[in-house]
Amino acid sequence: MFGYVRPVVPELKCKDFDLYKATYCGLCRTLRKRYGIFAPLFLNYDFTFLALLLHEAEPRLAFSMGRCHANPFRKCEMCIESDSLNAAADESIILTYWKLRDSISDDTGWRGLSSRFFALILKPAYQKAARRSPNFDALTQTCLSDLARMERDNCPSLDRPADAFARILQGAALEEPAPARRRVLEELFYHLGRWIYLLDAWDDVQADLSAGNYNPIAARFGDAGGEENLTATLNHSLNLMRSAFQLGEFGCRSALIENILYLGLPLIQRAVFDGSWGELKKQRIWSNKR
Amino acid sequence: MRDPYTVLGVDPSASDDEVKKAYRELARKYHPDNYQNNPLADLAEEKMKEINEAYDAVTKQRGGGAASSGPQASGAYYQQQQQYGGGNPTYARVRSCINAGDIDTAERLLGEVPNRTGEWYFLAGSIAYRRGWLDEAAQNYSIACQMEPGNLEYRQALSLMRQGGQAYRSANFSGGMDTLDCCTTMMCLNCLCGGGRC
C-alpha cells in the first residue's frame, strides 16, 4: 500500500527487531507458498503490521528456519505458518490488487502502464485470494465504489471518504472469532485506515490540486491548508489506536506494536508534514546504516 | 477469577510497594478518561474492575494492612458515570442509545428533533465521534459551544478534540515525543526527576 507503517528501529530491542524480521520473512514465505513466485514482490511494511496485529497472542515467538526467497543461499528465522498469517497474506493480495486497479483508472502514462502490468501479473493470485476470503473481497469492492462515488461528487467531508477507506482495513478483523478481540482489532484497524488515508491525502494535496483531481483535504479546507485541524484529527486517530491496543492481548508482540504505535507512526506523520518523507521512505529498515 | 498476581502482572514475591505500583500503572492505563465516549469503553471498564478486584484480593491476602492506606482499591478510579438531568426527553433517549452503542437509532431519533439547540449539536458530535468521524465531531462540538458557551460538558468535549484525544502512554514513551502529551503530570514528574527529554 503506502509503506507508512514502520517501527523506529534504533528504539527496538534486538529480540523485537528479530520478531519484526521473522514476521516479515514469515509473511513473505506464506505469500510465496500460497500465491506463487510473484506474490512476495508486493510485500511491504504495512502488511507486516497487519500480520503482527492479526497474529494469535503467544508468550514467546515460535519460529522456524527457512530459505530467503530473494537470496536462497541465506537462511533466516520465520514465524511458523498459522491461520492468521494466511489471512494476512490473503488480505494483502486483495488490497494490493484493488489498489493497482485503482491506480489504473487514476494514473495515465507510465505509472498507469506499470500498474496495468502488475495487476495482470497479480490477477491469478487475486482470484485465488478472493475465493479464500470472499467476504473481505466483497467488502473491499463495496467500500472502493463508495469512495469512487464520493470522489466524483467532490465530497467536502474529511471523515466520509476516510471512513470508506477505513472500513476496508477494519474488515481485516472480520474472521477473528473472539468477539472482544475482534472489536479491539476493528477499532485499531479502522483508525489505522483513517490515518493512512488522510496522511496520504495530505501528501498528495499539491499534486492533486495542480492535476485537478479530488482531494478530501482540499475539498474540506480549501486552499487555506487546515494543517492544524488535520494534525489534531490524525493525532486523535493515533490515540484511539493506542487505547484500543491497550485492551488487547498481543503477547510477545506487544513491545514491537507499541514501538510502531507510539514512535513509528508519529515519526512518519511529522516527516510527511515537514516534507522529509520522500527521503525517509527510501531508507531500508534492515540495517542501521543511513 | 484469574490469579490476582497474574492480573496485576507481578510476582507473588513482590513487595507491597511493587504491587501498589503495578496496580497504579494499570489503573492509569484503563482510566475512564482514556475511554471517554469510546466504543470500547465497556471493555476498559471490565479491565478496571478486574484489576480492582485483583488488588483487593492481594491486599486482603496480605493481611489487609495496605488496603486502607492504599489507593482506595475498589472504585477509586472507577466511577465516572455522569448524571444528565432535565431537558428534552428525546435527548435522554439519544444519550442512552449512544451509551448502549446503538448509533443508528441514536442518529434516527436525533434527526426527528425539529429545532436544533446546543445539545442537539453536542449529541450529533457524540454520534459522529462514536463512528470515528472525528472531524465532524469537532465541528458539531464547536457549534454546540458557540450556542451555549457556558456549558462545561460541551467545552470539555471540544477541548479533547483540539488536543487530539488522549491515550495511555507508558514511561518509555513519555519523553517529549508529542507536544500535546496526554499526561501533563507525568511530564512534570519527568522534568523534576531530570528524566526524559523535556
Radius of gyration (Cα) for chain A, nearest Å?
19
Instruction: Please state, in angstroms and as integers, the Cα–Cα distance from residue A156 to each residue in A151, A216, B135, following that order.
Output: 9, 7, 12
Give the range among A27-41, A205-219, B54-68, B98-112 with minimum mean pLDDT. Answer: B54-68
Q: How far apart are CA A225 and CA A230, in angstroms?
A: 9
Q: What is the mean pLDDT of chain B?
A: 80
Residue A195 · residue A237 · CB < 8 Å: yes
Give the closest of A163, A244, A266 to B133, CB-based: A163
Residues of A in contact with B132 (CB under 8 A): 159, 163, 166, 187, 190-191, 194, 237, 240
Q: What is the mean pLDDT of chain A?
A: 90
Radius of gyration (Cα) for chain B, nearest Å?
20
Give the closest of A163, A166, A243 to B167, CB-based: A243
Query: Which residue of chain B has the CA closest to A260?
Result: B173
Question: What is the ipTM metric for this complex?
Answer: 0.89
Q: Which of A61-65, A96-100, A101-105, A276-280 has the highest mean pLDDT?
A: A96-100
What pLDDT is attached to residue B53? 93
- How far away is chain A from the Cα of B40, in angstroms, using its nearest Cα? 7
- How far away is chain A from the Cα of B164, in angstroms, using its nearest Cα? 4
Q: How far apart are CA A271 and CA A176, in angstroms?
A: 34
pLDDT band at residue B111 using 50, 70 and 90 as cut-offs? very high
Residue A147 · residue A165 · CB < 8 Å: yes
Residue A235 · residue B164 · CB < 8 Å: yes
pLDDT tens digits for A204-225? 888 888 888 899 999 998 876 6
What pLDDT is attached to residue A288? 53
What pLDDT is attached to residue A165? 95
Asked if the Cβ–Cβ distance from A159 to B135 is below 8 Å, we say yes
Does A67 score more than 90 pLDDT? no
Residue B23: which H helix or E strand, with range?
helix B16-29
- How far away is chain B from the Cα of A228, in angstroms, using its nearest Cα? 9
Q: The cell 472500513 sits on which residue? A: A167
- How far away is chain B from the Cα of A250, in angstroms, using its nearest Cα? 15
Does A1 score more than 80 pLDDT? no
Asked if the Cβ–Cβ distance from B40 to A244 is below 8 Å, we say yes
Does A146 score more than 90 pLDDT? yes
Q: Name the pairing type of β-strands A75-79 and A63-67.
A: antiparallel
Give the closest of A232, A233, A242 to B167, CB-based: A242
Asked if the Cβ–Cβ distance from A229 to B47 is below 8 Å, we say no
Asked if the Cβ–Cβ distance from A183 to B40 is below 8 Å, we say yes
Cα-Cα-Cα-Cα torsion B152, B155, B161, B164, nearest 10 degrees, comes to -70
Q: Which residues of B touch A (CB under 8 A)?
A: 29-30, 34-35, 38-40, 43-44, 47, 128, 131-136, 138, 161-170, 172-173, 177-178, 180, 182
Residue of B134, B169, B197 for testing the chain A interface, max A β-carbons within 10 Å: B134
What pLDDT is attached to residue B65? 53
Q: How far apart are CA A213 and CA B162, in angstroms?
A: 29
Residue of A188, A234, A239 for testing the chain B interface, max B β-carbons within 10 Å: A239
Asked if the Cβ–Cβ distance from B177 to A190 is below 8 Å, we say no
Residues of A in contact with B165 (CB under 8 A): 235-236, 239-240
Q: How far apart are CA A152 and CA B46, in angstroms?
A: 44
pLDDT band at residue B84 using 50, 70 and 90 as cut-offs? low
- How far away is chain A from the Cα of B188, in angstroms, using its nearest Cα? 20
What pLDDT is attached to residue B76? 39
What pLDDT is attached to residue A225? 66
Query: Which residue of chain B has the CA closest to A181?
Result: B43
Q: How far apart are CA B166 and CA A237, in angstroms?
A: 10
SS3 A198: helix
Beta bridge partners of A65: A77
pLDDT band at residue B194 using 50, 70 and 90 as cut-offs? very low
Residues of B in contact with A160 (CB under 8 A): 133
Percent share of chain B, pLDDT over 70? 75
pLDDT band at residue A227 using 50, 70 and 90 as cut-offs? confident
Half-sphere exposure of A175 (CA within 13 A, CB side): 18
Does B180 score more than 90 pLDDT? no
